[in-house]
Copies of this chain bind each other. A is one copy, B any other.
Amino acid sequence: MSQAPVNAASDADPAAREQASYRARLSSDLEDFLGRQREVLLEVSEESVPLLSAVHALAQGGKRLRALLNYWGWRGAGGEAHGLAPVRAGVALELFQSAALIHDDIIDRSDTRRGAPSVHRHFSNRHAEAAWFLDGTHFGSSAAILAGDLCLSLSEEAFTSVGARAGYDTRARAVFNRMRTEVMAGQYLDILEEVVGPGHEPERAVVRARNILRYKSAKYSIEHPLAIGGALAGASEELLASYSEFSLPLGEAFQLRDDVLGVFGDPALTGKPAGDDLREGKRTVLIAYALSSGSAAARQEITAALGRPDLDDDAVASLRGVIADSGALATTEALIAEHTEQAFNTLAKLAVDETTRSALGSLAHAAVTRTA
Contact = CB atoms under 8 A, between A and B. Distances in A.
Interface string A188-224: 1101101111000000000010010001000000000
Given A47-B189, A133-B195, 4 more contacts: A51-B188, A133-B197, A147-B188, A149-B184
Interface of A: 37, 40-41, 44-45, 47-48, 50-51, 99, 103, 106-107, 109, 127, 130, 132-134, 136, 138-139, 142-143, 145-150, 152-154, 156-157, 160-164, 166-169, 173, 177-178, 180-182, 184-189, 191-192, 194-197, 208, 211, 215, 281, 307
Contacts of A37: 181
B150 A153 contact: no
A168 B164 contact: yes
Output the residue of A50, A146, A150 with the most chain B CB within 10 A.
Answer: A146
Contacts of A40: 178, 181-182, 185
Contacts of A133: 194-197
B51 A143 contact: no
B103 A145 contact: yes
A157 B177 contact: yes
Contacts of A99: 149
Question: How many subunits of this chain does the assembly comprise?
Answer: 2
Interface of A is mostly: helix
Contacts of A45: 185, 189, 208, 211, 215
B139 A153 contact: no
A100 to B, nearest CB: 8
Contact of A149 (B103, B138, B168): B103
Given A133-B195, A139-B195, A145-B103, A184 B150 contact: yes
Contacts of A145: 103, 106-107, 145, 148
23 contacts: A44-B186, A45-B189, A45-B215, A51-B185, A106-B142, A107-B146, A133-B194, A133-B195, A134-B307, A146-B184, A146-B191, A147-B188, A149-B184, A150-B180, A150-B184, A150-B185, A153-B177, A153-B181, A157-B177, A160-B168, A160-B173, A160-B177, A167-B168
